[in-house]
Amino acid sequence: MSVIYYIGILATLLVSSGNPTISGEKGQGRHLVFTFDDGPSYKTTPLLLDYLDRLGLKAIFFVNGQRFNGRSHIVKRNLEVLKEVHRRGHKIGNHTYSHPLMSEVSKKKQYWQLAKNEKLIEKITGYKPRLYRPPFGQMSYHARVYLKQHNYSTLMWNLDSEDPFQRHVAKVYANVLSTLYFYKRGLVLMHDTNSWSIEAVPRIVKAIKLWNCELMARGEPIFEFGDVADFRLPGENKYKEPDLKMIKKAYKRRIKMKKWCETIGKGDNDS
Strands (E), the chain: 21-22, 31-39, 60-63, 91-94, 131-132, 153-155, 159-160, 186-191, 224-225
Distance of closest approach, residue 259 Cβ to Zn ion, in angstroms: 38
Nearer to Zn ion, 95 or 209 (CB): 95
Distance of closest approach, residue 20 Cβ to Zn ion, in angstroms: 20
d(CA 225, CA 58): 8
Distance of closest approach, residue 65 Cβ to Zn ion, in angstroms: 13
Residue in 34, 36, 38, 52 binding Zn ion, rule: CB under 5 A: 38
Residue in 37, 118, 163, 230 binding Zn ion, rule: CB under 5 A: 37
Side-chain-side CA neighbours of residue 35 (13 Å):
29
Report angle CA 260, 263, 265 to the nearest 5 degrees: 130
246: CB partners within 8 A, 6+ apart: none
Distance of closest approach, residue 84 Cβ to Zn ion, in angstroms: 21
CB atoms within 10 A of CB 14: 11
Give, as ranges, the residues between 109 and 138 that touch Zn ion (CB under 5 A). Answer: 135
Q: Strands 131-132, 186-191: parallel, antiparallel or unpaired by DSSP?
A: unpaired
Please tell me whether residue 192 binds Zn ion under the rule CB under 5 A: no
Of 35-43, 167-175, 225-233, 238-246, the window that binds Zn ion (rule: CB under 5 A) is: 35-43
Nearer to Zn ion, 38 or 163 (CB): 38
The CB-nearest residue to Zn ion is: 37
126: CB partners within 8 A, 6+ apart: none
Nearer to Zn ion, 55 or 147 (CB): 147
Nearer to Zn ion, 137 or 234 (CB): 137
* Contacting positions for Zn ion (CB under 5 A): 37-38, 135
